[in-house]
Amino acid sequence: MNVKGKEYRTVWMEGGSVFMIEQNLLPFEFAIHEARFYKETCHAIRTMIIRGAGAIGAAAGYAMAQACLEAPHNERQVYLDEARRTIESTRPTARNLFYAVERVYAAALVSTGEAISEARRIADEDAAASEKIGEYGNALISDGAGISTHCNAGWLAFVDYGTALSPIYRAHEQGKSLFVYVDETRPRNQGSRLTAWELNNASVPFAIIPDNAGAFYMSKGKIQMVITGADRIASNGDTANKIGTLEKAIVAREYNIPFYVAAPLSTFDPDCHTGTEIPIEERSEDEVLFQTGRDESGVDRRILVSAPGSQALNPAFDVTPFSYISGIITEKGIIKPSVETIKKVINP
């Protein structure tokens, strides 16, 4: 994506450092974060300096490559095994993370150089897959469409292009008239902070709506399709995505609105048979009890927005059953979610 006249990827590696866009500062400040060691990259993943399925995967692959560079010669294998466990513990739901670590770890058993090359290949593949998702998804978008999104599955969530937003960008580039209804996506507000920033940067028409306003706009005929991303897809098509996605799918079915998931093949987990097997990350209750923003004087503030003394539950993801999904937009085309079709795509 072009930001202020310069092309950026969301994450990349130079020398022994991993560089990434600091997403906790957006939309108020655009800055690049440097993680010099693998544990610093793990911290960035855990604290959501970098987030989103594909971006997490690329960062995790780079972290594994960093571990190869850091490993002492006489205890290399022990160090790599410990690093792998540490990286995989950062975010348990996102399949792309485990996919990338597995590949780079296997390459590390050959050489450090091969591990670095493999990490870069994974990032390049992620960008290429997102671009193809945009091409296939664009064919689903009619001129004049109203499109609902949830969370951020755009350029910031992947190495480049994104998944759910990639078809929207392609349609906009081709001159199609469209309007995007951007869910806030509480509690971290990735929609109102990140998706809105992306769409504004790309001059795509949009409006932020409260999470609980989606049904209202669907009932009024304002929304013709829903596109979301995915963090892990089971082999039967059940899909884990940001909390609140399941509600959008249920409402979309009620109003006969197609509900699409956009994801690369690296998000599919062939060892996970149904959505009940997908681990759901439980994050800190502070994300619900407090909100962070910038006041009129330009100062960042964290404030309590809940009744003092309250407790909160904060599951980061929910699972949408495959029966609610009209199709999954992949780099290989649009598939109907089922065990048979997914198996054919993953193992052609």
Residue range 301-340, pLDDT digits in tens:
999 999 999 999 999 999 999 999 999 999 999 999 999 9
* Within a domain: 136: no
Query: How many other C-beta atoms are found inside a 10 Å radius of the C-beta of residue 317?
Result: 25
What total of structural domains would you count in the chain?
Answer: 2
Q: Return the CATH number at 339.
A: 3.40.50.10470
Taking 90 as the threshold, does the pLDDT of residue 179 lie above it? yes
Are residues 227 and 114 part of one domain? no
State whether 307 and 163 are in the same domain: yes
pLDDT at 346 > cutoff 90: no
Question: Is 117 found in the same domain as 60?
Answer: yes
Domain boundary among 80, 110, 130: 130
Exposure of 44 in the CB half-sphere (CA atoms within 13 A): 31
Four-point Cα dihedral 306, 310, 311, 314, nearest 10:
-10
Would residue 219 count as lying in a domain? yes
Say yes or no: 208 and 273 in one domain.
Answer: yes
Looking up tokens 């509690």, which residue turns up? 187
As a whole number, mean pLDDT of residues 254-270 equals 97
Mean pLDDT score of the chain, rounded to an integer? 97
12, β-bridge pairs: 19
Q: 18: domain CATH number?
A: 1.20.120.420
Structure tokens at 234: 């089971």
Specify the range with the lowest mean pLDDT, choosing from 229-233, 330-334, 343-347: 343-347
Distance, in Å, from the CA atom of 15 to the CA atom of 31, rounded to the nearest integer, reads 19
pLDDT at 348 over 80: no
Q: Do residues 280 and 347 lie in contact, with contact meaning Cβ atoms separated by under 8 Å?
A: no
Residue at 135 is within a domain: no
User: Does 98 reside within a domain?
Assistant: yes
318 is catalytic: no
Please check whether residues 182 and 330 belong to one and the same domain.
yes
Residue 125: CB atoms within 10 Å: 20
Would you state the pLDDT for residue 333?
Answer: 96
Q: What's the CA dihedral at 293, 39, 95, 347 to 10 degrees?
A: 140
CA 32 – CA 159 distance, rounded (Å): 14
* Residue 306, H or E segment: none
Task: List phi, psi (to 5°) of 11.
Answer: -150, 145
Torsion over CA: 146, 148, 152, 155 (sign): negative
217 in any annotated domain: yes
Checking if the pLDDT of 94 tops 80, the result is yes
Residue 4: the pLDDT is 87
Q: Where is the domain boundary, 130, 164, 197?
A: 130
Nearest to 94 by CA among 196, 236, 239: 239
Residue 209 has pLDDT above 80, yes or no: yes
- Residue 109 and residue 160 share a domain: no
Q: What is the pLDDT of residues 17-70, one digit of tens each?
A: 999 999 999 999 999 999 999 999 999 999 999 999 999 999 999 999 999 999
Q: What is the model's pLDDT at position 169?
A: 98
Q: Are residues 174 and 194 located together in one domain of the fold?
A: yes
**124 plus 156 within the same structural domain:** no
Q: Which of 130, 151, 173 is the last residue of a domain?
A: 130
Q: Which listed residue (126, 160, 183, 231) is catalytic?
A: 231
Instruction: For residue 248, give its domain range.
Output: 141-346
Give the whole-number percent of the chain exceeding pLDDT 90: 96
Q: How confident is the model at residue 100 (pLDDT cuts 50, 70, 90)?
A: very high
Any domain includes 246: yes
